């Protein structure tokens, strides 16, 4: 993270950290938006822990997300996801990366609003497709036309994601740039409040 070692971005990270206080920073968005990669780097810049809720779900269930979907279906998976995210948000501050469908669940959304500052990493279809079409690990994309499925998910979920506290455009730029934009959004939102 070369850019974050310069004096100005370090000041930005310190300002963002102060603005966050004890709240958690919760990243939401569709698969491929960069929640895990940007979340991990943002946590490092802020000097707080990073947790990927999908990894935590796999850890506690001792099953992969794909296997959970296959064995129990989406509704049961979402209930487990809500319980895990609620637990993760009990203490902080930390950066929490959520699965693409987490924020769609009303109960999960309430826990996120109560326990953190939500940031929607918003990406267009071409960016998302370029990032997700190389892997076969996305249960919701195991369809006849996965690109159309992804577009349908965007159309259904983007109006709900728009309820997030902050929105940062996820695009093909250096990850350090994205981290800087997340930190800027956090400090700007606090100055408005």
Domains (range + CATH), the chain: 16-176 (3.40.50.300)
The pLDDT value given to residue 3: 47
1 pLDDT more than 60: no
**Does the annotation place 40 within a ligand binding site?**
no
Q: Which residues contact 124 (CB under 8 A, 6 or more apart)?
A: 171
18 pLDDT more than 60: yes
**Does the annotation place 92 within a ligand binding site?**
no
pTM of the model: 0.89
**Does the annotation place 83 within a ligand binding site?**
no
Calculate what percentage of the chain has a pLDDT beyond 70. 89
The pLDDT value given to residue 6: 47
**Does the annotation place 138 within a ligand binding site?**
yes
The pLDDT value given to residue 167: 96
Residue given tokens 């990927």 in the structure block:
52
Residue positions counted in the chain: 193
Question: Of residues 106 and 141, which shows the higher confidence score?
Answer: 106
The pLDDT value given to residue 192: 64
Q: Which residues contact 119 (CB under 8 A, 6 or more apart)?
A: 25, 26, 27, 28, 164, 165, 166, 167, 168, 182, 185, 186
**Does the annotation place 157 within a ligand binding site?**
yes
144 pLDDT more than 90: no
**Does the annotation place 18 within a ligand binding site?**
no
pLDDT in tens, 59-102: 999 999 888 888 998 889 989 999 999 999 998 899 999 999 99
**Does the annotation place 122 within a ligand binding site?**
no
d(CA 60, CA 75): 17
The pLDDT value given to residue 69: 85
**Does the annotation place 32 within a ligand binding site?**
yes
């Amino acid at each position: 993270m070369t850019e974050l070692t310069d004096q100005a971005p370090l000041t930005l990270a310190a300002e963002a950290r102060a603005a966050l206080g004890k709240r958690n920073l919760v990243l939401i968005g569709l698969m491929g938006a960069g929640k895990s990669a940007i979340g991990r780097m943002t946590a490092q810049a802020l000097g707080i822990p990073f947790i990927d809720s999908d990894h935590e779900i796999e850890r506690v269930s001792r099953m992969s997300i794909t296997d959970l979907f296959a064995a129990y279906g989406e509704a049961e998976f979402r209930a487990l996801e809500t319980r895990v995210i609620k637990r993760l948000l009990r203490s902080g501050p930390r950066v929490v990366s959520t699965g693409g469908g987490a924020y769609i669940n009303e109960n999960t959304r309430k826990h996120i609003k109560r326990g953190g500052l939500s940031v929607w990493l918003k990406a267009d279809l071409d960016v998302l497709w370029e990032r997700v079409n190389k892997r076969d690990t996305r249960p919701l994309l195991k369809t006849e036309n996965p690109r159309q499925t992804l577009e349908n998910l965007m159309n259904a979920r983007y109006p709900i994601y728009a309820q997030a506290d902050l929105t940062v455009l996820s695009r093909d730029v250096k990850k350090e740039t994205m981290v800087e934009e997340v930190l800027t959004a956090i400090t700007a939102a606090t100055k408005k409040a």
